[in-house]
Every structure is written in structure tokens, then in C-alpha cells.
Structure 1
Amino acid sequence: MQPEVEQELIRKCRAGDPRFYEPLVRAYEGPAMRVAVGMMGQPDDAHDAVQEAFVKVYNSLGRFDLKRPFGPWFFQILRNQCRDMLRSRQARGRMETVDERLEFRPADEATGPERIQQKSAAREMLWRGLERIGTEHREILVLKELEGFRYNEIAEILEIPEGTVASRLFHARRALKEALQGMGISYP
């Protein structure tokens, strides 16, 4: 969604017409759910976090600075909601995939059903590896690798300098590699 469109929708919501919030929700609910699953581990917990974040965002639209992009602000609120829920519920569990963007490369000789099976196994191993690394590492990998945010957007969401994003990504990728190797999985 174009920033100008988002700003206009927000202005209309601020003017008292909540039906203009629906397009914002529709535009962000898919990526929000993927980020929340990546952070929370459980789709049900992630769904709750996304819903709560959308409510908090709606209630805070009056304080939103229209000069700033909406997306990073929204994901910052979602991130905080996920963290709050993780602390209060101590939600730990099996991660599941939701429209992930990572590319899995099965053995070159694999074809058809064998290739699909290998991709599924690789995906499962990746999520098990993500479960073994810290929340901070998992969070930045989900934002960059699964959702494709740019460094400057991640910096805004996490409220850290861009250089720190690069550093954390380096360490998160290394932690994931070590976790996967600890499981006996070779990772590039």
C-alpha cells in the first residue's frame, strides 16, 4: 500500500470513521501473522498477538506521526506485543511455517514428490533450528529473511541503529548455523 493511501486512511480514522481501518488491517495482517509466528512459535498465540497489536494501533492512531511510515511503527507495536505475551505467558512451543520466503534447495537429483518431501524436511529442520536460538536472533531473522524488511526498516522496528542491524543479523545467522549443525544439519 502506498504511504499516501495509508496516511489518508489514518486521517479518516482519526476523523471518526473506523471503517477506513479495515484496508490497513488487510494490508498488514499476512506479514504481521508471519512475524508473530516467528516470534511466538505458536499460531494461536501469534493470532492473539496480532489482534491485540491491531487494537493498540487503532487506539494510538491519534498519536501517530503522519510524516513517518506506518509499517515500521505497526511492526514495532506488534513486536512489543509479542514480547509482552511471551513474558506473561512464557509461550514456548513448536514453530510452524506460514508462507515463509526462505528458499530451500533439495539435492539436485531430487525430482517430483522426492523434491517436495526434501523441501518439507528442510523447512521443518529450519524451524527446529530457529526454536533453539534466542528470541533476539529469531526476531531479526524473521524480519529480514522471512519478511524481507530492509535494514533501515528493521532498525526502526527494533529501535536500533542500522549498523547494529547488520551486526545482529551476522550473529543471528551464525547462531542459526550453529544450532542446525548441533542438530547434525549442514547449513551454508
Structure 2
Amino acid sequence: MKKNISLALALFSCLYVSACVTVPQEKQINKNQLAISSVRDIPISYPLGSLFSLAPKYVKETSLKAAQTQAVYKLYANAIIADLNTHGYKSTEDASSSVFHVGFGIALASDLSDEVINDKFGITPGLPSNNEFKKGSFLIYIEDALTGKKVWRGAVQGFAHEDMKDTEREQRTAAIVNRVMKQFYATN
């Protein structure tokens, strides 16, 4: 009888100890994850039909080749123009006739850290870095043409998709621009 009780206690102890063992889980990283943040600086609204112009800002030193940088900026410029046009605003290349300017910049985390973004731009979405993927940032702002002051700022961080086909890249860029610009439209 004592032998059975001892055996039962030993078995129970083993089960109890094995139940207490925790297995660390691998962190799942979603390559499509986006972190988006924005802030309204001045309560100025622009009526539908207002003219806007683009004012791209380039990072001084980048790990991308010049042709790659130009291609990425062209993708984002086209997406910004299309999104604003869809929402009732009109693009112009004549900056002096525009009511507001849309400034934007794109950079990999290796070229522009979160700390620098926060210091220079004032907001950082805070997507955690990952050794598997290259983190990138898309910064955009609306500047009032009359006062020269920033009205709204938005920032998106995600992981670069270097292996995408051109049409997929265009769709992803349009989706990223649309998601951050929704925050501008909601406050305009």
C-alpha cells in the first residue's frame, strides 16, 4: 500500500513539475504589419477642389541606389496624387497657386532611425525592428501654402517588400498612402 502511495506521489510530482515547464514561443512577425500615427497641428480645413502641390523631401544619405530612390518616390508621389484626387482635391505642379503643399519622404531604418524621425518629424509609429526584414518609414505632411506652417503630419512604418512585382508594389503603396491619409481626411 505504501509502495502504491509512494508511486502515486512520484507520478504526481513528475506531472506537476512537467506542467510548470514553459516553452518560450517564437515571436510571430507579420511582414505586412503596418504601424501608423498622425497628429493634427493646426485646425485649418481645406474645401474640396482645393489645389495642392507635392514637395518631396529626400534623405541626404541613403543605402538605396539613386534609381531605386527615384522609383520609390515616383510610386508614392503617384499614390498621393491619386488618393487626394479621389477625395476631391486637385493636383497642380505650380506650387505658387496651390492652397496646400504635401511633403513626404521615404527611408529605410538603416538610413533614418526612429530617434531621428522623432527628433525631426515629431512622431514615430513605433514598429519594432526585426532582423529578418528591412523596416522602412513613410513620412507625410500637409503644409499650409499661405502660412508655411504644418497643418497635419502622418507616419507609417512597415517592412520593405523587395520581392514584389510592380503591380503588387503599386497596390501596396496605394493602400499605405490611403490608410495614413484617412487620418487626415477624418480631421479635415
Of structures 1 and 2, the one with the larger relative CO (CA 8 A, separation 6+) is: 2
| Pair in the same fold by TM > 0.5 | no
Bigger-Rg structure (1/2): 2
The structure with the greater share of residues assigned to strand is 2
Question: How high is the TM-score relative to the length of structure 2?
Answer: 0.28
The structure with the greater share of residues assigned to helix is 1
